[in-house]
Each structure stands twice: as structure tokens, then as C-alpha cells.
Amino acid sequence: MDAERMARWWGPHGFANLVCEVDARPGGAWRVEQRAPDGSLHRFSGVYREVVRPTRLVHTFVWDGRPSEEILVTATFTEHDGKTTITSASRFDARANRDGMPADTGIRAGPAPH
């Protein structure tokens, strides 16, 4: 994954990625700074834990607005008929952190892990 491609698709519609840095290897870091339609600035960062090209990425996610709440994200990529579907699961360190995410993030509770 390169930063130029990531900058084109990362984040909600209407947000502009001002900074996008990617070192997609285990132990490598990523960072995004984006401007929301209302002009507010949002910063995110993390570290890649697992990179299995082209099917799986596991990385941490830290939102500067909530720096004490590191999230572990597992993204899987499946190709069918020339299109790729991304499925992402986020593991929060506490239920309260998950439940406290802003509603416009699209994060919602899924089935509990076994």
C-alpha cells in the first residue's frame, strides 16, 4: 500500500487528507491528518502488526482526540469479479471506549468474540 493510494480512499466522504504517511510492514507506522467539511482537523496514527499481501492488515489505531484509547484493527480484503471488499473489525480495550465513539464514525457493536 502506498500513501498516495491510501489518501484517495481513507476516511469519510467530504473529508480531505492533508497528510498521509504509510510504512506498510510489521513494525512500520502510518499517520493521517484530515480536514473535515466543517474545517476541523483530525489526526490518526498507528503501527502495523501484521501485513499479509494482498489479504490482511492488522494495525493499531489511535485518534489524537482520544490518545489513551488504542484500537486494534484487522482488515481483510477479498476480491470477486475484479472488485475488492474490505471487512474491518476493531477491538477496543474497554467497552466504554467503544461505546463512547462519536456516532458519525460508523462504529457499532458486533458479536462478542468467543
pTM of the model: 0.79
* Mean pLDDT in consecutive groups of 10 residues from the start of the chain, 114 residues: 80 91 96 94 95 96 84 95 92 74 55 50
Residue 110 covered by a domain: no
CATH number of 78's domain: 3.30.530.20
Total domains, the chain: 1
The answer to whether residue 108 sits within a structural domain is no
Position 114 scores a pLDDT of 41
Residues 78, 84 contacting (CB under 8 angstroms): yes
* 114 located within any domain: no
Kindly state whether residue 67 falls inside one of the protein's structural domains: yes
| Maximum Cα–Cα distance across the chain | 41
Domain ranges, residue 53: 3-101
Q: How far does Cα 57 stand from its chain's mean position?
A: 10
> 35 in a domain, yes or no?
yes
Q: Is residue 106 part of a domain?
A: no
Domain membership of residue 73 (yes or no) is yes
